[in-house]
Amino acid sequence: MSKALLKFVRVSPTKARLIAREVQGMNAELALATLEFMPNKAAGIIAKVIASAVANGEYEPEEVVITSCRVDKAAVMKRWRPRARGTASRIIKPTAHILVEVAPAEAAKPEPKPAEKKTEKKAEAKSAEPKKAEKKAEPEAAEPKAEARSAAKGDDLTKIKGIGKVYQGKLNDEGIFTFDDVAGMTDEQIAMMEEKYTFRGDFRESVADAKNFVNGKEA
């Protein structure tokens, strides 16, 4: 690997970086041919630095690749221009340091290995996604079984006045599955349910309605 550094060149670093990004990673011969037809001032300067870097390593342009083309900010020259009414305006003249590093094409090829590892990891992640989907599908398939068990275990408590599907699940969590269980609830159990869960209306009315269902069954 060889490099060349040009200091305090009279060009704006911002404008020079636009050219540097274009040639970085290119073959030196191709980069020199490309810069020859660019109208920018920085193109001719960077071309000279690339040619110097190639010559410093005693390479041929077609044998090397530009591994790094860096443009750093240097000193800024400040000048003044007279303006109207005895005033003056500042003129800023930026300078830049241009560093070019070249290396043989064979030595520069092993660099993309980290990218290959990333692609392998992405491929492994994609292959693992179907397995995760299968694992997620298992609980969904198990849910209907749980619903079937709860349906076989007790009555449809949503038929009772004031009890919906959500509150039926809360009653099932407390071990109450049938109309008889609701009708046989004590005052302590009723008070506990009203404190533990928010219930719209009076839960005692639901208990009384459950007793009507029980009496209707017995009749």
Sheet containing 2-9: order of strands: 2-9, 88-104, 64-82
Contact yes or no for 69/46 (Cβ under 8 A): yes
Q: What is the pLDDT of residues 104-129, one digit of tens each?
A: 988 766 555 565 666 666 677 666 66
* Angle CA 163–168–172, to nearest 5: 145
What are the start and end residues of each CATH 1.10.150 domain in the chain? 144-218
**pTM exceeds 0.75:** no
Least confident of 9-23, 29-43, 146-160: 146-160
DSSP, collapsed to helix, strand or coil, labels residue 112 as coil
Tell me the two tokens of residue 58.
């005693």
pLDDT above 70 for 13: yes
Q: Is 143 exposed, middle or buried (0-12, 13-18, 19+ CB in 10 A)?
A: exposed
Q: What is the pLDDT of residues 25-82, one digit of tens each?
A: 999 999 999 999 999 999 999 999 999 999 999 999 999 999 999 999 999 999 999 9
Residue range 189-199: mean pLDDT, rounded? 72
d(CA 208, CA 203): 9
Contact yes or no for 36/76 (Cβ under 8 A): no
Return the pLDDT at 78: 95
pLDDT above 80 for 139: no
CATH for the 2-81+90-105 domain, from 3.40.50.300, 3.40.50.620, 3.90.110.10, 3.90.470.10:
3.90.470.10
Higher-confidence residue of 100 and 209: namely 100
Return the pLDDT at 111: 52
pLDDT above 90 for 103: yes
What are the start and end residues of each CATH 3.90.470.10 domain in the chain? 2-81+90-105
Return the pLDDT at 44: 95
CATH for the 144-218 domain, from 1.20.120, 2.60.40, 1.10.287, 1.10.150:
1.10.150
d(CA 204, CA 219): 23
pLDDT above 80 for 166: no
Contact yes or no for 17/99 (Cβ under 8 A): no
Return the pLDDT at 117: 60
d(CA 207, CA 211): 6
Return the pLDDT at 169: 76
